[in-house]
């Protein structure tokens, strides 16, 4: 009896992607236990040019339902493949360990680059990696720890330079933001000086990025000042309006008080006229 499982879809078969439990640059042995996950072929070939070449090209993987990966961080690879396999990849990464651990987030970036995962690349560059470092910066345990800038240079900049030979250009804006952060947190730290020798092009790019940020900040401050000025003018107008209203209410109160007094005096006068001098109403006399 034929199975009704979606796994039997011949046009879009399930592929088992396996990766090693421990990072190694050597292919896994046939009997080496690893970690695996099943993903639709269409997802792999759509998301990654690397997997498309493997699964649609003249390679053994094209005639198999298994792809073995090696030389990657096991934790980061697990985060990436689970993100591809289950629903929304971006949301999955935001709720993965990589979102709070810059070590894993950086390895995710390396994997995204290695396997040419275009749809995740901009998300990792703009959100995941900066967010993971921001989480560390917000942590009270590390916020005032001396040498944090040195650690950033060593574990972020040097690590990526060692892997890519040059610091990735698409991460220059993030590095500029890190410069601003460490300038505030560690005024004595210098994360810019070494760039003048290591990578003059990056130094110029970072300088341009900082100038852009400064100009944007100045525009924002000018806008805030204008907003405050406009708000002050509104407050003055409101104060004048309230003052005029208060004066009007005072005049109205005086008029009402005078009118009420006048009516009361008239009423009292009318009552007095209704009674005689002896206190009896007019027209009424004591009986003899």
pLDDT at 219: 59
- For the chain, what is the radius of gyration of the CA atoms? 39
pLDDT at 188: 87
d(CA 133, CA 109): 13
* β-strands 34-40, 14-20 pairing: antiparallel
Mean pLDDT of the chain: 82
pLDDT at 5: 46
Domain ranges of the chain: 9-120
Q: Which DSSP string do the residues of 239-281 spell out, in sequence order?
A: HHHHHHHHHHHHHHHHHHHHHHHHHHHHHHHHHHHHB-TTSSB
What fold characterizes domain 9-120? Potassium Channel Kv1.1; Chain A (3.30.710)
Q: What is the pLDDT of residues 162-210, one digit of tens each?
A: 999 999 999 999 999 999 999 888 888 889 999 998 899 999 998 988 8
Q: Which DSSP string do the residues of 36-99 spell out, in sequence order?
A: EEEEEHHHHHHHBHHHHHHHHSSSGGGGSSEEEE-SS-HHHHHHHHHHHHSS-HHHHHHTSGGG
Q: What is the torsional sign of CA 227, 229, 231, 233?
A: negative
Instruction: Please tell me the pTM assigned to this model.
Output: 0.70
Residue with tokens 């396997």: 115
Mean pLDDT of 244-261: 77
pLDDT at 4: 41
Confidence of residue 129 (pLDDT cuts 50, 70, 90): very high
* β-strands 14-20, 66-69 pairing: parallel
pLDDT at 277: 52
Q: What is the pLDDT of residues 92-110, one digit of tens each?
A: 999 999 999 999 999 999 9
Q: What is the pLDDT of residues 30-88, one digit of tens each?
A: 566 578 899 999 999 999 999 999 999 999 988 888 898 988 999 999 999 999 998 78
Q: What is the pLDDT of residues 142-162, one digit of tens each?
A: 655 656 888 899 999 999 999
Please, are residues 105 and 159 in contact by the beta-carbon 8 Å criterion? Answer: no
Adjacent-strand bridge partners of 48: 117
d(CA 284, CA 192): 111
Taking the CA of residue 23 as centre, how many other CA atoms within 13 Å lie in the half-sphere pointing to its CB? 11
């Amino acid at each position: 009896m034929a199975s009704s499982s979606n796994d039997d879809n011949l046009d879009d078969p399930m592929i088992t992607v396996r990766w090693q439990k421990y990072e190694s640059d050597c292919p896994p042995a046939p009997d080496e236990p690893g970690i695996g996950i099943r993903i639709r072929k269409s997802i792999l070939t759509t998301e990654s040019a690397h997997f498309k070449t493997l699964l649609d090209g003249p390679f053994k993987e094209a005639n198999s339902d298994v792809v073995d990966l090696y030389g990657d961080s096991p934790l980061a690879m697990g985060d990436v493949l689970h993100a591809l396999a289950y629903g929304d990849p971006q949301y999955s990464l935001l709720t993965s360990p990589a979102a709070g651990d810059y070590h894993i987030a950086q390895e995710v970036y390396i994997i995204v680059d290695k396997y040419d995962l275009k749809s995740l690349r901009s998300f990792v560059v703009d959100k995941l990696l900066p967010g993971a470092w921001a989480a560390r910066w917000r942590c009270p345990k590390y916020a005032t720890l001396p040498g944090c800038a040195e650690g950033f240079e060593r574990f972020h900049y040097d690590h990526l330079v060692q892997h890519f030979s040059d610091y990735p250009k698409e991460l220059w804006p993030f590095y500029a933001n890190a410069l601003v952060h460490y300038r505030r947190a560690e005024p004595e730290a210098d994360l810019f000086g070494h760039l003048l020798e290591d990578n003059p092009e990056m130094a110029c790019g970072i300088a341009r990025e900082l100038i852009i940020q400064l100009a944007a900040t100045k525009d924002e401050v000018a806008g805030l000042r204008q907003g405050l000025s406009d708000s002050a003018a509104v407050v003055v107008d409101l104060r004048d309006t309230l003052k005029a209203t208060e004066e009007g209410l005072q005049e109205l109160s005086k008029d009402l008080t005078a009118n009420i007094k006048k009516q009361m005096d008239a009423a009292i006068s009318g009552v007095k006229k209704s009674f005689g001098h002896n206190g009896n109403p007019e027209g009424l006399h004591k009986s003899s």
